[in-house]
Amino acid sequence: MNFLAMDFETANHQRHSACSLALVMVRDSTIVGEYYSLIQPETPFFWRNIQIHGIQPTDVQSAPKFPEIWEVISQYFNPHSLIIAHNAPFDNSVLAGCLDYYHLEKPHYLTLDTVQTSRKFYQQLPNHRLNTVCGYLDIPLLNHHDALEDSRACAEILLTQEKHFGSQSLKKFVRNV
In the CATH hierarchy, which fold is given to the domain comprising 3-176? Nucleotidyltransferase; domain 5 (3.30.420)
pLDDT at 37 (0 to 100): 98
pLDDT at 173 (0 to 100): 97
pLDDT at 128 (0 to 100): 98
Exposure string (b/e) for 81-108, b if CB count within 10 Å is 16 or more? bbbbbbbbebbbebbebbbebeeeeebe
pLDDT at 20 (0 to 100): 98
Which stretches of the chain score pLDDT less than 70?
none
Whether the model pTM is above 0.95: yes
